Structure 1
């Protein structure tokens, strides 16, 4: 492939571009599954026999986000150095390490805390992949199609979050899938112990990861865009790199942070983690609010990531037609109102079952609205970046902004434990207002310096 210019219809290989998109999207979906697998397991660790504190669980759920943010800084420079084929293949194989580890360690509650933290960190490889896959895919498409292409890849990839959280309850109940390992007893408050095969939640994805690696090695190619690490760092001299980083923190930082912590937050506010609702643990737990039905987190936790992921690829064609900046502006305004609506529900009223039910409904709908507007912003910002920067720089900026926003699960976990949910959400409103001003002044208004 000696000549590659997607902007030239005569030299652009559209079949190769779309094949690259679908293979890397399949692998990216598996990467998100590996990244968020801990979020589907950690809320149930104590029910499986572990005895971690709330703060320990928050830190454990935050660790994949910390790792992803750090690893994305590495993955962002890999596309021009390794090429798409080698990078996607190797990354997909690396996903197996943490996935296999979680499958082994949920089978008996004996793993030390540090070991689970290491597994949580390794899961961040799945998040790190994003900063390599997305810039690499952007090289294959003309600017007029990058909003749709990147939106499809990121949106479908983001569905990996919902897939792992939605399917885990079904996988763990299927003894026929348990080719390796035995069953476990999971004990929920006020209920009889349930027989589960929690290793299925991890092991079922490993064959697909092997298939993804084979597909990547046999079908992908690498476009001739080369740059060393020092050359790629020229993006940091451009003020728009920093503005777009802030905007992507508002959107994907919110999406990833809430996706990782949604289950724990729900459990600690309206479920088994709230001592004003449930006293004690295990089968002897006592309900303190009569008539209130404690929500089963796994029945709801996949909804938020699903809404955000679908919004990302559903709105991507609109960003190609209307531009990204206007939708980033809508995203910011929507986030302000959604967060403000949710804040009262972050302090549950435990005076009655009716009050708890009302609070839970407001919490759930508010969170889903936050996911919706963050998903819209995820699509629009990735349309903006290829319009603002030249091709190689755009790839680098996509990787860099994604790296910083991947710290979302880490900062969300730290923010909630340090400030409490109410203050942390209020900080989110202030941050979104700042991003609205940046978007309007720099990108969205008539006569803006960088219309996008």
Structure 2
């Protein structure tokens, strides 16, 4: 057997799993989390950099900053499509090493640009776009780990992998906070320098401790086949509501706080520090909650947990609508009560989005496992391979579509703050309406009594009805 290469991997073989397979899977999971963690940090680096960018020095207003943060979100979402098939084409270990090393490029460019604030806005946009490579890591990492774990443990494993990666968002925000708290808002290059070291650790660790799987399959043809099923599109839509909310609010939270602290009379340096002291809390809680969402979905059912999550998110959005109605956006209007409501609403939304991320991604392998059992003329191994290929393909596609939700959140906030009211109230109404739509879709597709017109249905083991027809 070649070093770091496993010709045949069958996670459903209980004897092989207990004889050492679970240790191999765990080792790959650990370093997958590390690499994805750093990728998320680099992806979200501009959500931290904007706190170091006073308008009078960099010449970029609030609307411009929201767009600046949205650009890497867009690029990272698009890159998730090719990243999904990369692990099967090049090997999970090989691609993890490569994708980690590529992060050096945006980090070095960001370091240089922040040392030269006189650059044009177009230059900032182009450098921010480079950070999008960090967003692609999620798709390749999740597709790879999906192949390593058996069906009964996928919810927990995928939730842990994604949650550990998601923590990269609050981690870089904490590092930004430490820099601002000790040196002020004038030394953003230090954040970049720290991540140059982290990137090197992730790449070396993946090279030494991860493996390539010989029977891993996930290509664009698999993705095309997966998208022939209507459930695939529904899952992607729901992931806009969960992951789109997580990444969108995580990226925008600090800036929304900074705007409100400035409205309350704080100086730019004071507003940056106060925003940084709070902004990381939401992404941290959301990241920790993701594996919990996967585990709850393993026990109760992905559809049920997803529905409950969207109901709670709608209530949290209603809190933001109420707070936004009180705050008219004028200087001094950001009262203590309004700020508390903003903080509570945003943190709650990000926390719930983390839970929803885990539950939605649990539904993906469950759906295709159920569909595989309805396929005739295939052996057990062939059905398992088909299920893995379809699940891996949809994980990447749903991740890409979900990431676009983060772009939408920042663009809606940009439009809302750029309007005549100069507040986010309009944006909060949009978010509330979208969560209500997600509630209806989740119930209608996965939890209501199955319609005979949907074709053959089977249970995924969690009392959820899944269509086997396209």
**Length-normalised TM-score, structure 1:** 0.87
Instruction: Structure 2: state its 5+ residue gaps.
Output: 1-5, 369-386, 418-423, 452-456, 466-470
The CA distance in 2 between the partners of 1:42 and 1:350, in whole Å, is 20
1:330 — aligned with what? 308
Determine if contact 2:303/2:442 at 8 Å carries over to the other structure: yes
Shift of 1:126: 0.7
The one of 165, 172, 188 aligned to 2:173: 165
Deviations 1:94-141 (A, max 9, x none): 111111222222223222222221121111111111111101110000
Query: Residue 42 and residue 351 in structure 1: after superposition, are their counterparts in 2 closer, same or farther (change >3 A)?
Result: closer
Shift of 1:294: 9.4
The CA distance in 2 between the partners of 1:266 and 1:404, in whole Å, is 27
The one of 185, 204, 213 aligned to 2:203: 213
Q: Superposition pairs for residues 340-351 of structure 1, below 5 Å?
A: 340-347=318-325, 348=327
2:293 — aligned with what? 315
Q: Superposition pairs for residues 262-341 of structure 1, below 5 Å?
A: 262-268=253-259, 270-272=260-262, 274=263, 277-278=264-265, 296-341=274-319
The one of 391, 399, 403 aligned to 2:388: 391
Deviations 1:215-270 (A, max 9, x none): 112221122223542343211101011000011111000111111111122222x1
Q: Superposition pairs for residues 45-60 of structure 1, below 5 Å?
A: 45-46=53-54, 49-60=57-68
Determine if contact 2:218/2:392 at 8 Å carries over to the other structure: no
Shift of 1:47: 6.3
2:376 — aligned with what? none
The structure carrying a bigger helix percent of its residues is 2
2:427 — aligned with what? 424
Query: Residue 102 and residue 294 in structure 1: after superposition, are their counterparts in 2 closer, same or farther (change >3 A)?
Result: closer
Report SS of the residue matched to 2:118: coil
Query: Residue 32 and residue 228 in structure 1: after superposition, are their counterparts in 2 closer, same or farther (change >3 A)?
Result: closer
The CA distance in 2 between the partners of 1:385 and 1:208, in whole Å, is 31
RMSD: 2.5
The CA distance in 2 between the partners of 1:235 and 1:372, in whole Å, is 30
Structure 1 position 7 matched with structure 2 position 12: yes
Q: Superposition pairs for residues 31-110 of structure 1, below 5 Å?
A: 31-46=39-54, 49-110=57-118
Shift of 1:355: 6.7
Query: Residue 353 and residue 51 in structure 1: after superposition, are their counterparts in 2 closer, same or farther (change >3 A)?
Result: closer
Determine if contact 1:173/1:197 at 8 Å carries over to the other structure: no
Shift of 1:410: 1.9
Q: Superposition pairs for residues 83-232 of structure 1, below 5 Å?
A: 83-171=91-179, 186=185, 196-223=186-213, 224-232=215-223
Shift of 1:34: 0.4
The one of 225, 245, 250 aligned to 1:234: 225
Deviations 1:58-87 (A, max 9, x none): 111111111111111221221221220111
1:441 — aligned with what? 444
The CA distance in 1 between the partners of 2:408 and 2:160, in whole Å, is 27
Query: Residue 109 and residue 364 in structure 1: after superposition, are their counterparts in 2 closer, same or farther (change >3 A)?
Result: same
2:406 — aligned with what? 409
The CA distance in 2 between the partners of 1:312 and 1:227, in whole Å, is 24
Shift of 1:341: 1.1
Instruction: Structure 1: state its 5+ residue gaps.
Output: 176-184, 187-195, 286-292
